[in-house]
Chains A and B, each alone.
Chain A
């Protein structure tokens, strides 16, 4: 077995529903993250990369602790928020959609965002992860940044 072959084998195949979710997120212009069942970020799309200032290829897979350290989130007062209280965590833990507002550390500084987390639940195996779509808010926090 050659080295390349060994490298091709040294992986764990993602569930089909995560593969298809990644394909979808790759194709849309809404910033979005894909989390696995452990709440690790396993992909984010180019629109998210533009906001964060770093491509997923550069960042790579991040555990929940790693992405909160890198990007936040923070509450209105600038205090770090507990991972357990975030919409993405709720979506994975409870298997239902969740929505939240918070601030993240983006390329241009702190940005207020609104995020919707959609759980990905396969029929027999339980939760496979979640898709997180988010929208930067305007300066007063009342609407999309563009408005």
Chain B
């Protein structure tokens, strides 16, 4: 399984020279399966440049964790949306309030957008994620609700013998002592357990978190504790705060590795979500683009 990060930023796009290395685009990850099929996790602004790479691909599956703007903002600028030959399937969380299409159309419609969903030249289908596991491109996909504000999913993707878990917006420690709690009471535990790569929210430094409790994101110590509890093989810290510039994130990375080692982890198995990074998981070492 090959994973490429097209956007690792949380909350809002954060361009600027001080953000160049980690990148300012919001959540978007490309997963290439053993079958050659690709899945796109979230449609933050990173999906725009990903779309430029996809010429020739007709059927595209986009798996949305939730509909906060930093996870859907790139949809309207996704080049395959404007190709008649594209068949796009968008998966996302169900809501009793409105269909997935209607909720996304609130963004892709006037006055926020110059086009409406019905005007897109591509074929696009909207599907609620099933309650049970389903298959895409030969991989088994599981989606479950996790702790965040509003209906939000995490994904587990099992392809041949490799497992990826994607939890970009997740606050499992909200009111829950992660270190000692039984697994059945930990949000996202089953999704992430034993994953070869866990991509997890780590928006805040511990000293920042107290001002953001309940906002739906994790502090470093909570992310590391969660990753250790679920026995993830590798961990990618993701959804960087828009205020965290490159220099801050370098130090954040070093600090996380020290803390990871103190919890018994291998420092080389912890990495930062970085725009453009490519990883081969389940077979080999990271390859950087």
Contact = CB atoms under 8 A, between A and B. Distances in A.
Interface of A: 5, 8-9, 11-17, 19-20, 22-24, 26-27, 123-125
Given A11-B182, A19-B176, A123 B96 contact: yes
Contacts of A123: 94-96
Interface string B167-179: 0000000111000
B146 interface: yes
A16 B146 contact: yes
B131 A124 contact: yes
Nearest to B174: A23
B73 interface: no
A3 to B, nearest CB: 13
A31 B95 CA distance: 32
A16 B175 contact: no
B280 interface: no
B187 interface: yes
B144 interface: yes
B94 A124 contact: yes
26 contacts: A5-B231, A8-B229, A8-B231, A11-B183, A11-B184, A12-B184, A13-B183, A13-B184, A13-B190, A14-B184, A16-B146, A16-B147, A17-B145, A20-B147, A20-B175, A22-B176, A23-B176, A24-B175, A26-B175, A26-B176, A27-B175, A123-B94, A123-B95, A123-B96, A124-B94, A125-B131
B158 to A, nearest CB: 15
B193 interface: yes
B3 to A, nearest CB: 24
A5 B194 CA distance: 9
Contact of A23 (B96, B175, B194): B175
Contacts of A23: 174-176
Name the interface size band of chain B.
20 to 34
Interface in B197-255: 229, 231
Q: Which 8 A-B pairs have the closest CB atoms?
A: A23-B175, A13-B190, A11-B184, A16-B145, A123-B96, A11-B183, A14-B184, A8-B183
Contacts of A9: 193
Nearest to A22: B185
Contacts of A8: 183, 193, 229, 231
A121 to B, nearest CB: 10
Nearest to A1: B194
Contacts of A5: 194, 231
A55 to B, nearest CB: 14
Nearest to B190: A13
Which of B144, B185, B231 has most chain A Cβ within 10 Å?
Answer: B185
A125 B193 CA distance: 23
B189 interface: yes
Contacts of A20: 147, 175
A19 B185 contact: yes
A24 B96 CA distance: 23
Interface in B9-43: none
A108 to B, nearest CB: 30
B173 to A, nearest CB: 10
Given A11-B182, A23-B175, A124-B131, A16 B144 contact: yes
Contacts of B186: 19
A102 to B, nearest CB: 29
Nearest to A122: B145
A10 B92 CA distance: 29
